[in-house]
Structures are given as C-alpha cells and as structure tokens.
Amino acid sequence: MDGLQAENAGVGGIGEDAEERYRALAYDTALSTLVAVAVYVVVKVSLDGIRQWRARISVLIVGSGPVGLTAALVAVRSGKVLKLTVLDERYRTALLCRPQQIALDPRSVKFLLGLGVDFDNMEGCWHNEHFFTRIGVFQEYLLSILEQKKQKVDVKVQLGTKFTEEYLRRIPRNEWPRVIVVADGSCGDSCSVLGISSDYTVESCHAYGANATIERLDQRQVPTPEIRAHSLYFDLSAYGVEAPREHRNATAKPGFHVKIYGTFRNRYMALACPASDTKMVRFLRHTANSSIMKNIFHQSFNVYKTDIEPRLNDVTLHHMQCSRRLFEIQLSHRRISAAYIEGDNVAVTVEGEAARVLNFDTGCGVNLGMRGLESMGTFIYRTATAVDQNDILEALSAKMQHSRQVAETFKLTDLAQSMYE
C-alpha cells in the first residue's frame, strides 16, 4: 500500500512538472508573439513614415492666373512636389499687363500669408483689412516667388504653350504628372481635353444685380480702395415708380447696394439687391429702356466717387458700358470638379473659374477661387503618400466635397459679405 501511494505521488509530481513546463512554454510563446507584433508594428510605422517623408510627385498646373499661380505656390509649399510645371497659352506680356484690380479679403490675405506672401513687397493698398492690387502685379509677384523655389523644386513655367492632346502625347508615359490642376478660367477647354464632363449646376444666389465699366485713359492706373454705399433708392417717378412710398414701407425689402472699385483708369461698378418683388425691382428687371440703368450708374458714380477723381458728364458718359437691366445673380459650378485617369494614374482637380463662376462681377471674385485652394495642400499630400488607388479616390472625394461646400457657402454668406456689408 505504501508503495502504491509513493507511485501515485511520483506520477502527480511528474504531472505538475509537465503542467508547469506547459505554462512556461505558453508564456514564452505569447511573449515572443507580442514582441514580434510590436517589432512589426514599429518597423511598419517607421517604413511608412519614411515612405511618406520621401514621397514626391510631379504636378502640372494649367493656367497662370491668380488662382493657378497660387495653386503652384501651394504645391511647392506642400513639400511633396518633386517637379512642378505651370502652363499657359498666354505670353508673359499679356499676363502681366492685365489692368483689372483684385481685392483680397481678410481670409484670402491670411491664406496667402501662410504661403509666404509678403504684401509689403507688392504694389497695392490696404483698406478695412482688404488688400487691393492689379492682377498683373499679383501674378508677377507669384512668378518671382516660384523662381526663388527652383533651388528646392524643379519648377518650369511654360508661357505661350497651350494644353492640348498633342501636348500630352509628347510627355513620356513614365514622366506623366500624378496631379493635374486645371485653372484656365471659365472659357478654358482643358477639362474637355482630359475628358471631364462640362455639366454645370446653376443655382440662384437669391439676388439681382447689374454691372458697369468706365475706362478713362487720362487717369492713373494705380490700386484704389473700393467704395460701398448701402440701402439706396432711386427716383424713378418719371417712369411711374414711386420709390419714396416703397421706402416708407416697413415690410419692403432692403434697398440697393452699390460698389465702385478698380483703378481710376479702369473703374467698375456693381449694383445689387436681395431678391424681392417690389415695383422698382420688377421695373428694373424688365425695362427695355437701357438708358435708365446707365443713368443710375452715372448718378451713383458722381455721388459716391472719391473727391480726387473727375465726375462723369454728358461728354465722358460714352466711356461707360453697363448692363441693360437687372438680372438674376447665379453661381454655376461643375458637377464634377475632380477626376481620376485610371490608366495613367493621374488625379485631376479643377479650380477657380474653371470650377465655379458667378455671372456677376463683385471685384472680389478671386476670393472664391482662393477658397477652393484651401484644401489643395492636403489633397497633394494625400495623393503623394497614397498606398493604392483607393487612397487617391478618397482624396479626390474629399476635394470634391470641399468644392461643393465652397459653392454653398458663397451663396449663403460670401455674396452678402462682398456687397451688402
């Protein structure tokens, strides 16, 4: 009996030893697996970080207007561009001699400051936190910055070169850009060359407007702050429209808003009012007498112009061209503002007036283009560091969503900010 008990005790000891060894082996295996997973994660994260850090792509920008050149600056500043090509069918002289004035609002100024733009070294003037300069001056400044960036990025500015199918065929397949930015304006045809749909969504801004231009060759071509006047009513009693009665009506919509902008030589005017069905608005929308609108702009200019510029008179009035009547202010924007060329692995985004355009000139149109570029840096980064096609498609989807948001925000607030405030 004692021997049997001793034998059972021996078997129990062996079982305990085996169980202990099993536990130790399981622990070692789990620990080894955990260490291996940790090492794998660290190595993968490190390699992904190195890959993302070293990722560089080629970018082609079609159009060297204010939006196109700003997009080029965004690309260079992203740190993910190895080669940048800027293309425009216009020659340098035609670009830099454009007399139109642009007004950069505080949001655009902040955006450009973040890109390294030094407004102190650019001809222009400040007023109410807005910066006013001529388009040609702004473009020349951005071109000079791109010239300075050639030490870090292969930058090529090809002016006098049109973007066509033949141009694309001349590019070797292994040198095709990963990103193409189309910023060739509302009349450009680069999107059709790339096979992007030309379908637009046209939406009302719930306002009516009219524009006028005045060219006086004897005046200076220098940047000038804009002038705004609000809650205006016009005396159209000679045409059967009683403005004072509407003015006294507490339920009537707010009056008209006038803006005078541009240089003294090339003056522009914008007249706008919120959509309403008052007698005056109906009359100005449907009148066949084009002289009525011309007289409104004529009188408004003489009342609100600066003190140092001459008045318009019957002799100089022929220098003015204006809308014949009020029209509905509408924003047109592309249904498809980004695309992916699968066979060539190219991501395309459409910017500026090539993507969205207003049928009404407020003097602040460039700001609408700048809004679209606020997501450009992220888009280039995500495209450059994309692992596969899905990553690129997600980047394009986010870019399109931002483009739609820009259009929606403009309708809700930006038009009012540029005219009514």
Residues 299 and 405 in one domain: no
pLDDT in the model for residue 120: 94
Q: What DSSP line would sit under 171-230, residue for residue?
A: S-GGG--SEEEE---TT--HHHHTT----EEEEEEEEEEEEEEEE-TTS-------EEEE
Q: Could you tell me the residue range of the domain that residue 307 belongs to? A: 202-242+251-329
Six token digits for residue 417: 């900010």
Which domain CATH number covers 410?
A: 3.50.50.60
Residues 257 and 215 in one domain: yes
Q: Are 179 and 347 in contact (CB under 8 A)?
A: yes
pLDDT in the model for residue 107: 96
**Sequential pLDDT tens for the chain (421 residues):** 555 454 555 545 566 677 777 777 777 777 777 776 666 655 544 444 443 445 689 999 999 999 999 999 999 999 999 999 999 999 988 888 887 899 999 999 999 999 999 999 999 999 999 999 999 999 999 999 999 988 889 999 999 999 999 999 999 888 899 999 999 999 999 999 999 998 999 999 999 999 999 998 888 888 899 999 999 988 888 877 775 454 444 444 468 999 999 999 999 999 999 998 888 999 999 998 888 999 999 999 999 999 999 998 877 788 889 999 999 999 999 999 999 998 889 999 999 999 999 999 998 889 999 999 999 999 999 999 999 999 999 999 999 999 999 999 998 888 888 888 8
Q: Are 338 and 401 in contact (CB under 8 A)?
A: no
pLDDT in the model for residue 252: 41
Residue 279 lies in a domain: yes
Last-in-domain residue among 285, 300, 329: 329
Residues 316 and 229 in one domain: yes
Residue 13 lies in a domain: no
* pTM > 0.75: yes
CA end-to-end span of the chain, whole Å? 107
> How crowded is the C-beta side of 19, counted as CA atoms within 13 Å?
6
Last-in-domain residue among 309, 329, 349: 329
Sign of the alpha-carbon dihedral angle for 38, 44, 45, 47: positive
Q: Are 322 and 289 in contact (CB under 8 A)?
A: no
Six token digits for residue 342: 């699968």
Residues 228 and 284 in one domain: yes
**Which run of H or of E encompasses 295?**
helix 290-304
Residues 81 and 158 in one domain: yes
Residues 362 and 396 in one domain: yes
User: Contacts from 240-246 at CB under 8 Å and sequence distance 24+?
Assistant: 240/283, 241/279, 241/280, 241/283, 242/279, 243/280, 246/278, 246/279, 246/280
Residue 138 lies in a domain: yes
pLDDT in the model for residue 48: 44
Last-in-domain residue among 300, 329, 358: 329
Residue 342 lies in a domain: yes
Residues 65 and 144 in one domain: yes
Residues 310 and 361 in one domain: no
Span 92-104, pLDDT tens digits: 888 888 878 999 9
Query: What three-state secondary structure class fits 118?
Result: coil
pLDDT in the model for residue 4: 44
Residue 282 lies in a domain: yes
Six token digits for residue 260: 């005078």
| C-alpha–C-alpha distance, residues 252 and 374, integer Å | 39
| C-alpha–C-alpha distance, residues 61 and 91, integer Å | 16
Q: Are 352 and 62 in contact (CB under 8 A)?
A: no
Query: How many domains does the chain fold into?
Result: 2
